[in-house]
Amino acid sequence: MKTRRDLLKLSAATLASVCTSHAADSAPKPTVASRIIDTHTHFYDPTRPEGVPWPGKGTTLDRPVYPKDWLAVASPMGVRETVVVEASKWLEDNAWILNLAAKERSIIGFVGHIEPDDADFAKHLSRFATNPLFRGIRVSGPAFNDNQAKPEFLTAMKLLAGQGLQLDVNGVRDLGNVAKLASAVPELRIVIDHVGGAGDPRQLTDLWRQGMAASGKMGNVFCKVSALAEQSQSENGKAGTDAGFYAPILDHVWQCFGEDRVIYGSNWPVSEKGSDYAGCFKIVADYFSAKGREACEKYFWKNATVAYRCGA
């Protein structure tokens, strides 16, 4: 027969067990690296009086998106730091993000948007570069494809490099042109976004393979492994999370850039078009875990501090 003391001991043990179990359930899941920096997120608020130029009204992305929303899905993976990449073409939205970053410790860097062919490019760059969180600019699509051979574009790139800033490139038709820019301005750190727009891993083009190989030969070019799921085709609008499916892309990127110049980025919330944050994270966690602990440390944060010179 149990005594009162026995019952009290049993109750205490049961309570401890419940508390321990609850703590384990609510704590962040073990991560593949000691630290993780998500180098590609977008924050915006369509409800502002002036609205936003992107995303479009009525789309699945048409909602306020703030760091707290990202942390809600990223922190369970152990991800609590991010480099924001500006998707707005409005100059003053650079200031909007920097003002947000001043209040949000999770933002450790910002890649802004300034058109390289803007007559006031130098003035705008000097203005924003005074903020230590401003780490460079992103150039997308026509702004790179149609202008990269123009003298004023090269001048803008040299200004970036001269201030220790970097360039993200997105939507480049021929990645061989990234290699040419890297050769022309060797002191400029260049990050290719979204695995160079590889697309569906079952339909990789020779142009992509050759462009990635040429870019990988340049020591100042990095590749951001992001947007894998949303670039893939699927019958139900959602992509799978099996790393093996994406191996044709990932293997080629690894072969071209090696462990020192690959970088983690989620492309959240755009990534939701392919899978949720956990699903997208699983793909790269599974793939890079197989490369060993040091490769994971480099991919998930160390290489980001080199490419963006942030959070070191």
Which residue type does 259 have? E
Helix, strand or coil, per DSSP, at residue 140: strand
- Beta strand 166-170 with 262-264 is unpaired
CA torsion through residues 234, 236, 239, 241, sign: negative
Residues 6+ positions from 296 with CB-CB distance below 8 Å: 32, 33, 288, 289
- Residue 43 Rama label (left phi>0; alpha psi -120 to 50; beta): beta
Which residue type does 77 have? M
- Cα–Cα distance, 96 to 7 (Å, whole number): 60
- Cα–Cα distance, 58 to 274 (Å, whole number): 18
Name which of 89, 154, 149 is nearest 124 in CA terms. Answer: 89
- Beta strand 134-140 with 107-112 is parallel
Residues 6+ positions from 152 with CB-CB distance below 8 Å: 116, 117
The first and second tokens of residue 209, run together, are 């393979």
Name which of 266, 257, 265, 254 is nearest 291 in CA terms. Answer: 254
Distances (CA, A) of 30 to 26, 27, 36, 223, 293: 12, 9, 12, 25, 13
Q: Which pLDDT score, from 0 to 100, does residue 234 have?
A: 61
**∠ CA(42), CA(299), CA(195), 5° rounding?**
60
- Tokens 């702004």 belong to 143
Q: Show pLDDT as tens, one digit a residue, over the chain (312 residues).
A: 444 344 333 333 333 332 223 333 343 554 799 999 999 999 999 999 999 999 999 999 999 999 999 999 999 999 999 999 999 999 999 999 999 999 999 999 999 999 999 999 999 999 999 999 999 999 998 889 888 889 999 999 999 999 999 999 999 999 999 999 999 999 999 999 999 999 999 999 999 999 999 999 999 999 999 999 999 866 555 678 999 999 999 999 999 999 999 999 999 999 999 999 999 999 999 999 999 999 999 999 999 999 999 987
Residue 192 and residue 178 in contact, taking contact as beta carbons nearer than 8 Å: yes
- What is the pTM for the complete model shown? 0.89
Q: Which pLDDT score, from 0 to 100, does residue 209 have?
A: 98
Q: Which pLDDT score, from 0 to 100, does residue 309 have?
A: 97
Residue 198 and residue 208 in contact, taking contact as beta carbons nearer than 8 Å: yes
Q: Which pLDDT score, from 0 to 100, does residue 21 have?
A: 31
Q: Which pLDDT score, from 0 to 100, does residue 28 have?
A: 52
First to last CA, the chain: 62
- Cα–Cα distance, 182 to 221 (Å, whole number): 7
Question: What is the four-CA torsion angle of 160, 164, 168, 169, rounded to 10 degrees?
Answer: 50
Q: Which pLDDT score, from 0 to 100, does residue 240 have?
A: 87
Q: Which residues pair with 262 in a beta bridge?
A: 223
How would you list the strands of the sheet with 166-170, edge to edge? 37-41, 81-85, 107-112, 134-140, 166-170, 189-192, 221-225, 262-264
The first and second tokens of residue 75, run together, are 């922190």
